[in-house]
Chains A and B, each alone.
Chain A
Amino acid sequence: MPNTGASTVHELSIAQSIVEGVLETAERERAEKVLRVRLKIGRFAGVVADSLHFCYEMAVAETIMEGSVLEITELPLIIHCSPCDADRILEGIQLMACPVCGTLSGDLRQGRELEIESIEIESPESVAASNDTGDAHGSSHRRNS
């Protein structure tokens, strides 16, 4: 296990925030089940993917998210190098230097993300259809299937 107890607690509170954020949208969309959650995590988000997967399982228990797949896309650090006037992708996270010219840069353009990108949900067809026509309150057309 790469994690200390402390960092597992940290990922647990992140997992709980994910569940809160997803449920808010899922309920608004009248989802009956959440199948998949897509998450973007920057290398500087300070989140360990393995640990987050583990905590996610616990956090989704007994919700409509139970059994859903957590799909994580990890984003590398990108700094802006002013001498080169270019954005540069960094391999690691321990040296904020342009890989081409070597200049140090504090201008971070990507890497702090910790974002729910999208979710895949299952909802009664009529709800999806009424949402498509912009009628968010079409509950009277709802068919329990």
Chain B
Amino acid sequence: MEARIVEIRKGVLKKNDLLAAELRQRFQQARVFVVNLVSSPGTGKTTFLERTLRDLRGQSLRVAALVGDLETDNDARRLAASGAPARQINTHGYCHLEAEMVSTHLEGWNLSEFDYLFIENVGNLVCPANYDLGEHQRVAFLSVTEGEDKPLKYPKMFNSADLAVITKWDLAEACEFQLDEAVKNLHAVRPDLAVLKVSAKRGFGMEEWMRWLAAAREKMQKPETVVP
């Protein structure tokens, strides 16, 4: 017997990354704009998404949602009440969604019938950061009830986000939430990160979110500019 060293130099999550790249290509071909929503449990992702689906449908846009939870289909039922197609992904113990789970749960859907697809990840600020789902944009949520230092506690997740949304803004005053501090911390881990403040319950900030979405989607649909 002989011992020898074999070089591998391969990403541990290569399988997920390859599948995510395939998904991204499918999304692009179908011209559906895909957003991955990440946060800790209880930031109000589902309430925010319910409102988002309703508002987009109000603009005659075609929307769909996938929602990940360890157990129960409560969230999918809440989201489906908006009239949009919504499917639950139960991870049964997994603390994050993987590209394969997304791929499986898209079966039977004609993606080109959608303008937007939202993927609500499992409430967790650690694990979902590692798993690319083929999304165009990743939005991280921070609620005013959580404290301004959350980005410093979970720098990796906020660093991987394209947008930070501060939720439950209607409670900001009662919580003595320091916006400057929160933004400073967000920018410490991700300089130039765009930040929005919303209250999905009261409707505050939703228009600005709609504008952000429309602009991001438009950018995705523009053919890549060829540099001469």
**With A21-B12, A46-B129 in contact, do A123 and B187 touch (Cβ < 8 Å)?**
no
Can you name the residue of chain A whose Cβ is closest to the Cβ of B1? Answer: A122
Report B-chain residues with C-beta under 8 Å of the C-beta of A128: 2, 4
Is the pair B13, A9 in contact by a Cβ cutoff of 8 Å? no
The listed residue (B3, B11, B130) touching A121 by CB distance below 8 A is B3
Instruction: Name the interface residues of B24-54: CB closer than 8 Å to any CB of A.
Output: none
A122 CA / B12 CA spacing, docked (Å):
22
Interface string of B141-163 (1 = CB under 8 A from A): 00000000000100111010000
Can you name the residue of chain B whose Cβ is closest to the Cβ of A115? Answer: B11
Interface residues of B, CB < 8 Å — how many? Answer: 37
Q: Shortest CB–CB separation between residue B14 and chain A, in angstroms?
A: 7
A59 CA / B127 CA spacing, docked (Å):
18
A-B contacts, CB under 8 A, total: 121
**With A9-B95, A116-B10 in contact, do A46 and B1 touch (Cβ < 8 Å)?**
no
Give the size range of A's interface with the partner.
35 or more
Classify the secondary structure of B's interface with A: mixed
Is the pair B12, A119 in contact by a Cβ cutoff of 8 Å? no
Report B-chain residues with C-beta under 8 Å of the C-beta of A115: 9-12
**With A13-B94, A44-B159 in contact, do A114 and B5 touch (Cβ < 8 Å)?**
no
Is the pair A32, B1 in contact by a Cβ cutoff of 8 Å? yes
Interface string of B78-91 (1 = CB under 8 A from A): 00000000000000
Report A-chain residues with C-beta under 8 Å of the C-beta of B129: 46
> Residue A145 at the B interface, CB < 8 A?
yes
> Residue A55 at the B interface, CB < 8 A?
no
For the A-B complex with A105-B191, A114-B11 known, give 6 more contacts whose Cβ atoms are closer than 8 Å: A9-B127, A44-B155, A93-B155, A116-B11, A117-B8, A124-B1
List 7 A–B pairs whose Cβ atoms lie within 8 Å, in order of A's numbering: A32-B1, A47-B130, A94-B188, A105-B191, A116-B10, A117-B8, A118-B8
